[in-house]
Amino acid sequence: KALQIELALDVSEKLRAAGLRVLVDDRAGVSPGVKFTDAELIGVPKILVAGRRSGEGVLELKDRKTGEREELTVDEAIARLTA
């Protein structure tokens, strides 16, 4: 979990530096399902997840509008979101 939070914070800094608004949901004791539901409720258009493969530098990007999910490296995710 600490690695996931560290990666999420690192990526969020890079995205903010590129001018994007970023929300990191680092609430302890809250299931991923609840976090996803909350993101949907507040209308987050893209959800970037630092999950099980974070140790490999892989993130999951979900597009709320299309429902499409894909696994990307950190650099690919940043490039996709800042394009």
Q: Each residue of 26-53: pLDDT tens digit?
A: 999 999 999 999 999 999 999 999 999 9
pLDDT above 90 for 1: no
pLDDT at residue 69 in the model: 96
Domains recognised in the chain with CATH numbers: 2-82 (3.40.50.800)
At 44, give phi and psi (nearest 5°): -65, 120
Helices and strands: H and E segment counts in the chain: 3, 3
Phi-psi region of 19 (alpha: psi -120 to 50; beta: other; left: phi over 0): left
For residues 5-13, average pLDDT: 96
The size of the chain, in residues, is: 83
Residues 6 or more apart from 65 whose CB is under 8 A from it? 45
DSSP H helical segments within the chain, as ranges?
2-17, 32-41, 74-82
